[in-house]
A and B are shown apart, each in its own frame.
Chain A
């Protein structure tokens, strides 16, 4: 006989409002139902009732972790409608911010995952490193989370102290190589806890439409930075780590290796950053038109659809975040799993409920 365990709406492991009802036979999971929407803020509606400049600050608050990606995607969608070519320097600044944000996001996730594995010392090391990344972001932008770097037609600030950024990235990479990555990729305890757990097959990954590290850990080798390149990524050398196994260990490994790639991208972008203007000047409206804009955020593809009627207020703003498509795949991942593995399986998706509910 089966029974259902409700977890949430305040999720005890993830400390966010989200509910999962797990159906079990004994301690084996045979099904699950997810409930979201507790963070619904109507951001799309609000963005259609504020002018474009006000909406930049609004959309930066879709997510408390990948905030830059949202303001950047929004601005880039408008730039596409208006056929606005931003200065080369602005492209490189956006790359640096995007990759620092990826470091921040992946390190936060690494800490959460370590804690759920019962690996407290690793949690502390990951969060100490995350603080270092936030220091670097603060040195560039003056802010630790919402950076206010993007404007329509470019960026508000440059990277004025590149040596400070280089020093921070060197320190992060050093600790990653010496401590975090060896533990996450070779430690027997981590492997025992994660190998074969929460498997998402390649076919399910495509059917659920998962993106980012979740897709790449299931053998779906996609990354918009490479496949539909944008900003300055086409001029930079980087690898796209992927694994075929589809389990928690594969997702751990992919994210760990991506951290090193982000460090390399930042250093290249700093070395090759051209001088010149940071933006094209003030832009308060664009001609009528619409555009889809997709960016490789830390958790995967962010999708923006923006439509302009020619006024300073947009006719339609649609935001589809990576968590919105990654979280439903938890249903496939937990089927057949041990009940005790459910928190770790959910965490390995790196879910963001603020993003999901918007």
Chain B
């Protein structure tokens, strides 16, 4: 009998680190610069990019989380951006992240380093970003 071909690698293992198990899935705290390479490993494992969540605080810091689905299991990478700090883009790895990054820029003025296209998603081209911040168009 021919053995079954090996399945895709477990992204938790290839990315490494101490994943925290929660009721909604597995979460891992990472540095922002680690996100693109982790995204490449997610793609290699067949994981689907699900969502990007940005949560700003009153000081201009933004808690960011990137979420993937791997066979029904939620895998989340999260970090916090200091005021004015950019997030790395993963749109070159996952085209599906393009709208999520543009929307996050529109809503919370988070910039994504490495993006070729900075066209707003929801706003008009000359609108100031950060429409859901207390001070749209101001410094984050």
Contacts and interface: CB of A to CB of B under 8 A. Distances in A.
Contact of A209 (B23, B73, B94): B94
Interface in B58-107: 65, 67, 69, 71-74, 76, 94-100, 107
A284 to B, nearest CB: 22
Contact of B51 (A37, A227, A305): A305
Interface string A212-224: 0001000010101
Q: What 7 pairs between A and B have smallest CB-CB spacing?
A: A227-B72, A209-B96, A37-B122, A228-B72, A292-B24, A208-B96, A320-B51
B31 to A, nearest CB: 21
A188 B120 CA distance: 43
Given A207-B95, A227-B71, A292-B67, A307 B132 contact: no
A209 B70 CA distance: 11
Given A37-B123, A291-B24, A301-B69, A209 B49 contact: yes
A209 B53 contact: no
Contacts of B128: none
Nearest to B49: A209
B48 A320 contact: no
A224 B122 contact: no
B15 to A, nearest CB: 17
A80 B74 contact: no
B134 to A, nearest CB: 11
Interface string A286-320: 00000111100000010101010000000110101
B72 A301 contact: no
A101 interface: no
Contacts of B72: 222, 224, 226-228
Contacts of B74: 228, 292, 294
Contacts of A42: 131-132
Given A206-B46, A222-B48, A292-B25, 19 more contacts: A36-B122, A40-B122, A45-B132, A208-B95, A209-B50, A211-B48, A220-B48, A222-B69, A227-B71, A228-B73, A228-B74, A292-B24, A292-B67, A301-B69, A316-B53, A318-B53, A320-B50, A320-B51, A325-B50
Interface of B: 23-25, 43, 46, 48-51, 53, 55, 65, 67, 69, 71-74, 76, 94-100, 107, 120-123, 131-132
B55 A307 contact: yes
15 contacts: A36-B122, A37-B122, A40-B122, A42-B131, A44-B107, A45-B132, A80-B23, A207-B96, A208-B96, A227-B71, A305-B53, A305-B65, A320-B50, A325-B96, A329-B96
Given A292-B24, A292-B25, A301-B69, A328 B51 contact: no
A324 B65 contact: no
Interface in A206-258: 206-211, 215, 220, 222, 224, 226-228
Given A207-B94, A292-B24, A305-B51, A328 B99 contact: yes
Contacts of B67: 292, 303, 305
A329 B100 CA distance: 14
A28 to B, nearest CB: 22
